[in-house]
Structures are given as structure tokens and as C-alpha cells.
């Protein structure tokens, strides 16, 4: 895909999605990537929920799984590869704030709490979040979409 084509698709994506929708989709992608990276056997609720929501948004899960395989191999999305859990937790809080479901004080308390977790980056967490959002959104823009009738 050429740079001009990507810029056109990105502009179209931004126009067609609200800020809350963009944060929600980035959260879904970060959560799906995190669950895909996890090596511990777990109940597949999260992967199932996030996967079904991505499918409902029109994404082909085979393509998303291929993206996750390339992330696990270290070929793409280095920030999501290294810090998948931190954006997963912060993006949902940002989504809830932007959607009006959380106050500014609650958001600040949640961000302070998340910054103290062992999985949080040691320095410049805002840069990590920007990079993770950019990588997740880039993946969401470039992944092939499926027609709505195939998702039902």
C-alpha cells in the first residue's frame, strides 16, 4: 500500500469513527494481541469477547491472528509486543472517560494506579500509549475488512 493510499484510508477511518470508537477499537486490538501473546492457559473469555467484537466491527479474525503471529515473531508492532497489557488497561479507561462513563478524577486515579503496576513502562508512559495507539490503529486501518453479511 502506498503512503498516499494509506493516508487516504486513515483520513476515511478517522472521519467515519468517533474518538470513543477509535479508543474502543484500539482497546479491543490491544486486548486481543495481549491474550494472543499470553502463554499461560486461561479461560478464553477475553479472547472470545474481544475477537467477537472485532468480528462485529468487520475484521477477519484469520487476518487478526496472522497479525498477532507477526507481532509474536517481532516483525511488527514492537510497542504492542512489549507493552500489550499496559495499553489494554489504559485504553479502556480512556474510552470510558471519552464516552462520558468516567469522571476526570476517576480517570486520573486509574492512570496513577496503572502507572504503579509492574507491567507499566518505567519511563515516559505517554509515549508508550501514543505508540501503542498508533500501532493498533494502523493495524485496524490496514487489515482487510469482511462484508457485514459474512459476520452474521
Give the lowest-confidence range in 19-28, 48-57, 103-112. Answer: 48-57
Asked if pLDDT for residue 39 goes beyond 90, the answer is no
Residue numbers of the domain that contains 125:
3-150
pLDDT at 152 over 90: no
Query: Which residues are 59's β-sheet partners?
Result: 145
Diameter of the chain measured on Cα atoms: 45
Q: Band of the pLDDT at 149, cuts 50, 70, 90?
A: very low
Beta carbons of 30 and 136 less than 8 angstroms apart? yes
Total domains present in the chain: 1
Give the count of beta carbons closer than 10 Å to the beta carbon of residue 95.
21
Each residue of 102-131: b (16+ CB within 10 Å) or e?
beeeebeebbeebeeeeebbeeebeebbeb
Length of the chain: 152
Q: Which pLDDT tens digit goes with each residue over 48-95? A: 788 889 999 999 989 999 999 999 999 999 999 999 899 999 999 999
**DSSP codes of every residue in 28-44:** HHHHHHHHHH--S---T
**41 pLDDT above the threshold of 60:** no
Amino acid at each position: 500500500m502506498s503512503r498516499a493510499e494509506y493516508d487516504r484510508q486513515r483520513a476515511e477511518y478517522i472521519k467515519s469513527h468517533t474518538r470513543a470508537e477509535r479508543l474502543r477499537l484500539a482497546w479491543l486490538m490491544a486486548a486481543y494481541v495481549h491474550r494472543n501473546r499470553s502463554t499461560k492457559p486461561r479461560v478464553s473469555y477475553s479472547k472470545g469477547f474481544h475477537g467477537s467484537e472485532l468480528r462485529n466491527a468487520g475484521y477477519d479474525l484469520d487476518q487478526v491472528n496472522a497479525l498477532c503471529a507477526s507481532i509474536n515473531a517481532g516483525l511488527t508492532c514492537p510497542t504492542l509486543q512489549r507493552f500489550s497489557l499496559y495499553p489494554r488497561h489504559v485504553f479502556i479507561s480512556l474510552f470510558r472517560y471519552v464516552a462520558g462513563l468516567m469522571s476526570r478524577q476517576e480517570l486520573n486515579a486509574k492512570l496513577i494506579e496503572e502507572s504503579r503496576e509492574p507491567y507499566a513502562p518505567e519511563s515516559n508512559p505517554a509515549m508508550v500509549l501514543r505508540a501503542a495507539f498508533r500501532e493498533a490503529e494502523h493495524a485496524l486501518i490496514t487489515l482487510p475488512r469482511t462484508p457485514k453479511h459474512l459476520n452474521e
